Structure 1
Amino acid sequence: MKSIKLVVLFLLCGFSLVAQQKLSVEEIYAGAFRAKGMDELQTMKNTNQYTVLNSDRATRTQQIDLYDYATLKKVATLVDTKNATLLSDGIDSYTFSNDEKKLLIANNSNAIYRHSFTADYYLYDLITKQTSKLFEQVQEPTFSPDGTKIAYAKANNLFVYDIASKATTQITTDGKKNAIINGITDWVYEEEFAFVRAFDWSADSKKIAFIRFDESEVPEFSMNIYKKDLYPKVETFKYPKAGEKNATVSLFVYDVASAASKAINLGNYSDFYIARMKWTNEANVLCAQVLNRHQDNLDLIFVDGTTGVAKVVMNEKDAAYVEVTDNLTFLKDNSFIWTSEKDGFNHIYWYDKTGKLKNQVTKGNWEVTAYYGFDEKTKTIFYQSTENGSTVRDVYKISLDGKKKVKLSQRVGTNSATFSPDFTYFISTYSSASVPTTYSLNNSKDGKQVQLIEDNAALAEKVKKYNLPTKEFFELTTEKGNKLNAWMIKPKDFDASKKYPVFMYQYSGPGSQQVANDWLDINDYWFMMLSQQGYITVCVDGRGTGFKGAAFKKCTQKELGKYEVEDQIDAAKVIGNYAYVDKSRIGIFGWSFGGFMASNCIMKGAEVFKMAIAVAPVTNWRFYDSIYTERYMQTPQENASGYDDNSPINHVSKLKGNFLLIHGTADDNVHVQNSMQMIEALVQANKQFDWAIYPDKNHGIYGGKTRIQLFNKMTNFIKDKL
């Protein structure tokens, strides 16, 4: 009867059958809705131009093209793989020398962990148009500032290659797998401090600073790699779990002329992290951000590169933890820009070169979310912030004295910017929940658009055929009075007189955000597909998530998973009382931290949630890594109850609903150990549940048809159990 009504409605409204096109897991996860972008966009330093990596699918070639900021016109093709025989395997990434006369081009890249990889590297001379292969499967090759040398890492050691003489000098010799790493971060630094290259050239190209990791006493974790072999291989790597031994880090300065390295005494630290390290604008002054193990005390240290003398120029403390900043920027006089949450919100500060505060540049109950740069000529800072609401982003400029603030973004949604070298123009990237990602050229005087670059009109037209519902944003207030950002996707034919099942999605990790007014990600299309099948999808960012101030984010300290779970349960109760919701049919889903949350919710909220899907979840915080876990929980030895009370593995007896647990066996991040021990706990509690293990898949669980099979499995589980 229902289908007859729909056909009549189509005829009355004059809709074509195309307007009712149904989404499928197969097309979603095969990339049918991928937006066009500007790949490998890089701003030049010496000219008012930028480069983009373009691909010609017809000829299977790639080009690094140079464009003019003022006109957007292509000035030249710098490299074309069609004409460079050595680059026939393509271009994965590229970096310029400081004078922009040479390029380092990577291909044949092989991933190691989340950010790290080895690759083959080629030197391309933009003057002679000659290509030469330099390195096979090395890490992080980096030009010296004068462009004469390249430092790189291989097999846990550091090397310097002289371009003119083609001679290689080995800086370190003690590198050894699972023991000593020079100039490259260990697993936990890479994952949690999000950097790989732990070496840096001084401004005068005379010195290289590097961090040495001694991980010989760090406990090892092993994973079976099955493939199709008769006997699985075992991959073993160092992984410090919460409360266990970390790598011992030390800082060195290598003098290129004398080929000698000097160890730097950073101070009286016993168990610490070097979370960031780089040279300042003064060629002989190195800086390091040093954190204690609890991560509630950060020292910014300046080191004299010749004497090795180190001094603390700035200190930050926090009752919970101090965020490491990537926004540290040195000006010509070596004064520096810094971002900090010390007044309760993330803001921009300006210090002189001795660490004395000159000015707090931005102020207010909102967060600076990106720092874009400083124009020395006009003494202007460019940044992105949440000034107009935590779910949107806008681009601003402001004088170093905190005056003359101008809003440069023009539309409501998520705005970001890539500025030209002279800051006269910027490439604006904009999207919202209803507008696909749009790129345009804008001027930096008032932010007005000069020219459109790409508006993804083809994608917008394609999406129209599916007649998709809109993502509705709102603020949900729990019975306890907590105000939480949320969005809801209803079926397109929503009828307020009916009762709908609700599928809740969340991540909920510290400082994260899922409720943001930006264009659909790949999972949003899946939620839209579920709406076509009669489900309402809801996402709620609970306490502990980001961009609403430090107090909101850090209230979960030492109780990770307590308030976040409470908020999801309370939100589900509020949603369950909506007249159009069937409160007996509420489910929840999450991946990683979200999987930890979904697992906790189906157990602690057994009376509220009918089903849950947990993908790659932490099930016991004692199993997760030291840097992340201890930042929020301290160690298990110090905070046993915080760990145990909030780990879902300790609440399996409460399970009543339908639970699907999913994990990849090659997950180097959240080990499959989490799910294996969870499975055993559920079995011994005599609880029925469903589970799926994906052989040799990492934390992302992808490759081949994997995502399609996985999301079909989850879709079927939802249809069967919700």
Structure 2
Amino acid sequence: MRIIYSFLALLLFVGPTTFAQKEITLESIYDGTFRQERLQSLRSLNNGDEYVVQNYDRAANTMTVDVYSYKTGEKTRTLINSAAIEGLQYFQGYELSNNETKALLSTNNEQIFRRSSRGIYYVYDLNNKAIVKVSENKIQEPTLSPDGTMVAYVFENNIYIKHLESGDTEQITTDGEINSIINGVTDWVYEEEFAFVRAFDWNADSNKIAFLQFDESEVPEFSMDLFKKDLYPTQDVFKYPKAGEKNADVSLHIYDLNTKQSMPVNLGKEYEYLPRLEWTKKANILSVQALNRYQNDLDLIFVDAAANTSKVVLNEKDEAYIDITDNLTFLNDNSFIWTSEKDNWNHIYHYSKEGKLINQVTKGNWDVTDYYGFDQRTGRIYFQSTENGSINRDVFSIKMNGKNKAQLTQKRGTNSADFSSDFSYFINSYTSARTPYEFTLIDSKTGKKVRDIKDNKALLEQLKPYNLSSKEFSTLNVNGNDLNMWMIKPQNFDPTKSYPLLMFQYSGPGSQSVTNSFYGTNDYWHQMLAQQGYIVACVDGRGTGYKGADFKKVTQKELGKYEVEDQIQAAKQLGAESYIDAERIGIWGWSYGGFMSSNCLFKGNDTFAMAIAVAPVTSWRFYDSIYTERYMTTPQENASGYDDNSPINHVDKLKGDFLLVHGSADDNVHVQNTMQMIEALIQANKQFDWAIYPDKNHGIYGGNTRLHLYTKMTNFIKENL
């Protein structure tokens, strides 16, 4: 093992005799004992000097939206108080209109899929205190018009407009039908893989709405039984395009509120996906991002709604794929900011309104990992990057011409920013492997701290009796690449002894599990295992993110090949260390990590003695079209890429101990994956352990579910490793 850099992320600085070590238990992990203090979700007001926070009074069962000063942190006034709204004692969420004179309040929300929900909504006038119910029905994605006079929303796959002054409701689509035609919101696969739900947008003049229509009538259906406690199970049926199968046909339309007419938009050619639409600064110019099915050829299109014409202003191609982001930003002159990996690293670019490159704003062998926005007054762009190491994050500003870059955060670790509306301040969220979240207010111009907001020093004091182990960061040279790694050893580690090793990983394209950040739930579990005599390690292999596009995209068309090779080789190299028992190496993971841990146990049967796979993909033929084809093309074109690296086809190699876990109501990675794996293992006459959690989705949680699952996994590790 070649250590490139190493540091101890010590949680505690106390002598070994100061405290008797307190043992972590699964109950303490899941009962909130180690919960960090977080900053409540806030929204900057237009004045840039104040922000609003939603507060709940449990005793009175009332909700308020309170205004605070950035500079002092003092509450200045209450913007909304549910106790003062006649007929509405409580609300769950809120959105302010652009001019901050109205608020959209949500109640009775119910989840649909990962990002989608429906609920009852009201519009509250902050000036005259009047309240208007948007609809008697539970609706989706209500959005106030820019002028604050209307609300557009979706109900049962059709788009409606509520006119607040008259109270009239206008239905602008009529062909919506469940599992057939969707207007204004995305289908399941867009929601999951392109990460958005609202598929309509108001223009700046509030007189046009652009929207997507999904014709999913020919998309194959997937069904899940829901057992609940009834005598007969019910069935959830929804459209789910698996790899190589028919996607929904997506079309773009513009509704004109003046003419009451909806116009289909001719984009010039057929596209498989339309993953983003957004009106520009010009009220009649709509931007649309359009992709081919391979997702490696992207057009940014400007649609002139007045002339009903469209023009490709930017085209980007990639040998592998192009990531879709929300970074597109229009300036007052309709020039725009764009991010791209075209020089192998993700960077910021400035284009004219005609799509001509003005300049590359950021450059270097590091990735821009978050784009925060552009300050029109100062001409500065704010962003987060890995310039100080791929496991770290810092906040920077830079002039539009790429000059005068300034680092605005100083502590090494993970920094992220929440800016005021005028970019005068940002709230910095900082964490590292030795520091739970700290929240500070920073002056955006100088990078100097204005004040402390909140920290977790109390949690550090609470953790002292546990005498937790350090998390050691290093790199491991594997198959010619320096891979990021962390390792946790027992607190009383003796290098002359030999310890069992449990490896944890996720490994999916562009992901990162080795980060300089404080403990999450799994980290406490890993610490518990370390207290019980295990070494726990995590290695980010090829295909993971933030080390350049070439490193990330090397797995193209062969998911599960290079990532598995790296985990197996890393385990062999770690097993060669004198303090690790090479006969007792295990691996575990969830989702993509479960796909990986299964493959590692089967293909690395001379290296791994044990594996746990939670909610795994077992064949990419079972997973959705957008995600899978982005990396694999279709199974019709790349059958060997799908089959050679799917664990379901390697069950005959199983020698070690295997635990397979899934939720029966997983709408994402269907339990079909595990059922097919079970059948393959049975027919190969391989013994293994498995568990199905009834009516649980991909997260497998609710009540005592997580406690039960981690108890099962802990016992399996103790019995088999």
Q: What letter corresponds to residue 300 of structure 1 in structure 2?
A: L
Q: Is the 8 A contact 1:603 1:651 kept in 2?
A: yes
Q: Is the 8 A contact 1:89 1:108 kept in 2?
A: no
* Aligned mates of 1:556, 1:710 — CA distance in 2: 31
Q: Which has the higher contact order (CA 8 A, sep 6+)?
A: 2
* Structure 2 counterpart of 1:438: 438
* Structure 1 counterpart of 2:127: 127
Q: What letter corresponds to residue 543 of structure 2 in structure 1?
A: G
* Structure 2 counterpart of 1:673: 672
Q: Is the 8 A contact 1:189 1:195 kept in 2?
A: yes
1:122 deviates by 2.0
1:39 deviates by 2.4
Q: What letter corresponds to residue 699 of structure 1 in structure 2?
A: H
* Structure 2 counterpart of 1:521: 520
* Structure 2 counterpart of 1:116: 116
1:12 deviates by 10
Gaps of 5+ in 1: 1-10
Q: What letter corresponds to residue 334 of structure 1 in structure 2?
A: N
Distance 1:87 1:600, change over 3 A: farther
Q: How does 1:389-538 map to 2 (within 5 A)?
A: 389-478=389-478, 480-538=479-537
1:315 deviates by 0.1
* Aligned mates of 1:580, 1:472 — CA distance in 2: 15
Q: What letter corresponds to residue 15 of structure 1 in structure 2?
A: T
* Aligned mates of 2:693, 2:90 — CA distance in 1: 30
* Aligned mates of 2:15, 2:423 — CA distance in 1: 54
Q: Root-mean-square deviation (CA), in Å?
A: 1.4
Alignment match of 2:18 (pick from 15, 25, 33): 15
1:465 deviates by 2.6
1:528 is paired with a residue whose SS is helix
* Structure 1 counterpart of 2:4: none
2:427 is paired with a residue whose SS is strand
> What TM-score comes out, normalization by structure 1 length?
0.96
* Structure 2 counterpart of 1:214: 215
- After superposition, what is the alpha-carbon deviation per residue over 1:53-105, rounded to whole angstroms, capped at 9, x for unaligned? 223344443321111222222111222334446443442x2111000011111
1:171 deviates by 0.8
Distance 1:86 1:553, change over 3 A: farther
1:720 deviates by 0.6
2:650 is paired with a residue whose SS is helix
1:691 is paired with a residue whose SS is strand
Q: Is the 8 A contact 1:439 1:454 kept in 2?
A: yes
2:451 is paired with a residue whose SS is strand
Q: Does 1:697 find its partner at 2:700?
A: no
2:134 is paired with a residue whose SS is strand
* Aligned mates of 1:578, 1:77 — CA distance in 2: 61
Distance 1:48 1:13, change over 3 A: closer
* Structure 1 counterpart of 2:377: 377
Q: Does 1:257 find its partner at 2:291?
A: no
1:307 deviates by 2.4
* Structure 1 counterpart of 2:6: none
* Aligned mates of 1:45, 1:577 — CA distance in 2: 59
Q: Is the 8 A contact 1:325 1:338 kept in 2?
A: no
1:492 deviates by 1.2
1:46 deviates by 3.9
Distance 1:371 1:607, change over 3 A: same
* Structure 1 counterpart of 2:104: 104
* Aligned mates of 2:33, 2:205 — CA distance in 1: 49
The answer to which of 427-436 and 55-64 deviates more is 55-64
* Aligned mates of 2:394, 2:48 — CA distance in 1: 27
1:160 is paired with a residue whose SS is strand
Q: How does 1:77-226 map to 2 (within 5 A)?
A: 77-84=78-85, 86-91=87-92, 93-135=93-135, 136-226=137-227
Q: What letter corresponds to residue 302 of structure 1 in structure 2?
A: F
Q: What letter corresponds to residue 405 of structure 2 in structure 1?
A: K
Q: Is the 8 A contact 2:48 2:424 kept in 1?
A: no
Q: Does 1:327 find its partner at 2:327?
A: yes
1:436 is paired with a residue whose SS is strand
* Aligned mates of 1:87, 1:66 — CA distance in 2: 21
* Aligned mates of 1:440, 1:54 — CA distance in 2: 20
Q: Does 1:363 find its partner at 2:366?
A: no
Q: Does 1:298 find its partner at 2:298?
A: yes
* Structure 2 counterpart of 1:624: 623
* Structure 1 counterpart of 2:77: 76
Distance 1:426 1:47, change over 3 A: closer
1:132 deviates by 3.9
Q: Is the 8 A contact 1:410 1:448 kept in 2?
A: no
* Aligned mates of 1:581, 1:60 — CA distance in 2: 55
The answer to which of 654-663 and 575-584 deviates more is 575-584
Q: Is the 8 A contact 2:666 2:697 kept in 1?
A: yes
Q: Sequence identity of aligned pairs in percent?
A: 62
* Structure 2 counterpart of 1:653: 652
Distance 1:680 1:381, change over 3 A: same
* Structure 2 counterpart of 1:7: none
Q: Is the 8 A contact 2:542 2:551 kept in 1?
A: yes
> What TM-score comes out, normalization by structure 2 length?
0.96
Q: Is the 8 A contact 1:67 1:76 kept in 2?
A: yes
The answer to which of 58-67 and 152-161 deviates more is 58-67
Distance 1:12 1:117, change over 3 A: closer
Distance 1:524 1:247, change over 3 A: same
Q: Is the 8 A contact 1:263 1:308 kept in 2?
A: no
Q: Is the 8 A contact 2:63 2:90 kept in 1?
A: no
2:636 is paired with a residue whose SS is coil
* Aligned mates of 1:314, 1:623 — CA distance in 2: 34
Q: Is the 8 A contact 1:225 1:666 kept in 2?
A: yes
Q: How does 1:565-644 map to 2 (within 5 A)?
A: 565-644=564-643
* Structure 1 counterpart of 2:11: none
- After superposition, what is the alpha-carbon deviation per residue over 1:350-395, rounded to whole angstroms, capped at 9, x for unaligned? 0000000001000000000111111111110010000010000000
- After superposition, what is the alpha-carbon deviation per residue over 1:638-692, rounded to whole angstroms, capped at 9, x for unaligned? 0000000010000000000000000011000000000000000000000000000
Q: What letter corresponds to residue 190 of structure 2 in structure 1?
A: Y
Q: What letter corresponds to residue 178 of structure 1 in structure 2?
A: N
Q: What letter corresponds to residue 499 of structure 2 in structure 1?
A: Y
1:461 is paired with a residue whose SS is helix
1:404 is paired with a residue whose SS is coil
* Aligned mates of 2:167, 2:175 — CA distance in 1: 24
* Structure 2 counterpart of 1:708: 707
* Structure 2 counterpart of 1:237: 238
1:109 deviates by 1.3
Q: What letter corresponds to residue 715 of structure 1 in structure 2?
A: T
Q: Is the 8 A contact 1:384 1:395 kept in 2?
A: yes
- After superposition, what is the alpha-carbon deviation per residue over 1:131-171, rounded to whole angstroms, capped at 9, x for unaligned? 44333411110010011101001100100001111111001
* Aligned mates of 1:247, 1:494 — CA distance in 2: 56
Q: How does 1:36-47 map to 2 (within 5 A)?
A: 36-47=37-48
* Aligned mates of 1:30, 1:24 — CA distance in 2: 10
The answer to which of 21-30 and 508-517 deviates more is 21-30
1:120 deviates by 1.5
Q: What letter corresponds to residue 33 of structure 2 in structure 1?
A: A
* Structure 2 counterpart of 1:5: none
The answer to which of 98-107 and 457-466 deviates more is 457-466
* Aligned mates of 1:714, 1:104 — CA distance in 2: 44
Q: Is the 8 A contact 1:64 1:78 kept in 2?
A: yes
* Aligned mates of 2:66, 2:641 — CA distance in 1: 53
Q: What letter corresponds to residue 144 of structure 2 in structure 1?
A: F
Distance 1:359 1:281, change over 3 A: same
2:232 is paired with a residue whose SS is coil
* Aligned mates of 1:447, 1:148 — CA distance in 2: 40
1:22 deviates by 1.4
- After superposition, what is the alpha-carbon deviation per residue over 1:270-313, rounded to whole angstroms, capped at 9, x for unaligned? x5100111100000000100000000100000001122211100
Q: What letter corresponds to residue 210 of structure 2 in structure 1?
A: A
Distance 1:174 1:12, change over 3 A: closer
Q: What letter corresponds to residue 618 of structure 1 in structure 2?
A: V
Q: Does 1:559 find its partner at 2:562?
A: no
* Structure 2 counterpart of 1:248: 249
Q: What letter corresponds to residue 653 of structure 1 in structure 2?
A: D
* Aligned mates of 2:173, 2:159 — CA distance in 1: 6
Q: Is the 8 A contact 2:47 2:422 kept in 1?
A: no
1:669 is paired with a residue whose SS is coil
* Aligned mates of 2:316, 2:409 — CA distance in 1: 32
1:625 deviates by 0.3
Q: Is the 8 A contact 2:501 2:585 kept in 1?
A: yes
Distance 1:687 1:281, change over 3 A: same
